[in-house]
Amino acid sequence: EAPLAPTLPLVLLAVLPACNPPWHGIADSGDTPGDSRPDTDDTGGGTTDVRFVITDPWEGTALALYRVTVAATGDLRFGEAAAAATVASAQALLHLAEPPAEAFTDWDTDLYPGLRVAWHSPAVYDDADGDVQKDTEELVVGAGPAMVVFLSGPLGDLAGLGFEQGWNAFVVGSKGDLIETPLESVPAAADLWPGSAVADIEIGGTWEGVTDADDLGLAVVSDLWPENPALDLVHEVPRGFVKESWDVILDEEPPYDHRTWREAYGADAAIEYPIAWRDVDGDGAFTDADTVVGGTCYDHDTERYQPAFLVYLPSTASLDLAWMLERLDLHLGWIVESVVGGERTFLNPSGGRGLVMAESCVPTF
């Protein structure tokens, strides 16, 4: 099964020229255009009220609506916050003004000439200092699932689907369809709260290029192990117990001393490498005297034998990463990650059980 790549969800694939038409599949909420839209406060600088509804909010959180851009790789990037508010009674009310000119991008110039759009996404975070502004170290509680856009220019057939000039919101349906959402009840996710990390995972797969499997053991070792061989192993299968196929079940979180601040994850995360080892010193257990003869790779459709490893992520302060996890329906805790052409890819659970243990994949740590 193909991996779940950390790229755009269907809702944002609409901005790419290959999507034809961009808004194909939008389901109207059933309201007549204009019936459910909040009034614009002309005396307050032309702002529009948008109310977000948060399911099971975590105490002491705030919500911000962030301007987002689409990178050349297809990744979503969070920019500045357009507005923010404290979450109270499972809701957050924002007063949104028209975005600045630099926030807009052209829509499909063939299908909707002259239509410009400014993309936004909500994020809920632990407002530890109570200033409503997300600081670098404050943890993200959830990102999305709704997209909020400001439309400016000729709408064409979008007008008949419930969309208007100005602010609009929508979510992605179970079949990938885009569903228009009233501005007084825009959903916001809050399911990445600290303490929700899943501490069990199963990985496994086949051997390739590693001979004498009966003489091998398996271990899951920290990327910090070469600098500190005294670190406990997350998992070990002694020599002689490894069969033609291999599998590892991790049913607890890694030791705390395996974690260190990882800028890419916005958290104190652990990185662990499943390896095959040959018992050089004959003591029956993996030590720094033994030889690592295999590491894990994932056989992608476009690139074969790309490195794969485990990440334990107990929480994150990264908006980009939180959004990625939400879109891929992944969770905090154990995640299988691979790298293809320099781009990070998170694998779904079935992908984690389809790894290759190969001599060519020995990690460099």
Q: What's the alpha-carbon Rg for the chain, to the nearest Å?
A: 24
Average pLDDT (230-240) is 80
pTM of the model: 0.74
Q: Are 176 and 10 in contact (CB under 8 A)?
A: yes
- In the predicted model, is pLDDT for residue 257 greater than 90? yes
39-45 long-range CB contacts below 8 Å, 24 or more apart? 40/166, 41/95, 44/95, 45/97
**More confident site: 182 or 210:** 182
Average pLDDT (240-267) is 84
In this structure, of 163-167, 193-197, 300-304, the range with the lowest mean pLDDT score is 300-304
Per-residue burial over 261-277, b if 16 or more Cβ lie within 10 Å, else e, is ebeebbbbbbbbbbbbb
Q: Are 250 and 190 in contact (CB under 8 A)?
A: no
21 preceded by cis ω (within 30°)?
Answer: yes
Average pLDDT (60-69) is 93
At 213, the pLDDT band (50, 70, 90 cuts) reads: low
Among the listed residues 179, 144, 186, 148, the one whose alpha carbon sits nearest the alpha carbon of residue 329: 144
Pair of tokens at residue 190: 């809050």
pLDDT tens profile 117-167: 999 999 999 999 999 999 988 999 988 888 899 999 998 877 877 889 999
At 71, the pLDDT band (50, 70, 90 cuts) reads: low
At 243, the pLDDT band (50, 70, 90 cuts) reads: low
The 3-state secondary structure of 121-143 reads EEEEEECCCCCCCCCCCCCEEEE
The helix (run of H) or strand (run of E) holding residue 298 is strand 291-298
Among the listed residues 23, 46, 40, 12, the one whose alpha carbon sits nearest the alpha carbon of residue 163: 23
Q: Are 189 and 38 in contact (CB under 8 A)?
A: no
DSSP designation for 364: -
Pair of tokens at residue 162: 């419930």
Beta bridge partners of 298: 306
Mean pLDDT, the chain, rounded, equals 79
- In the predicted model, is pLDDT for residue 13 greater than 60? no
Burial of 161 (0-12, 13-18, 19+ CB in 10 A): middle
Instruction: Tell me how crowded residue 325 is: count the other CB atoms within 10 A of its CB.
Output: 24
117 contact partners, CB below 8 Å, separation of at least 6: 15, 104, 105, 107, 149, 150, 151, 152
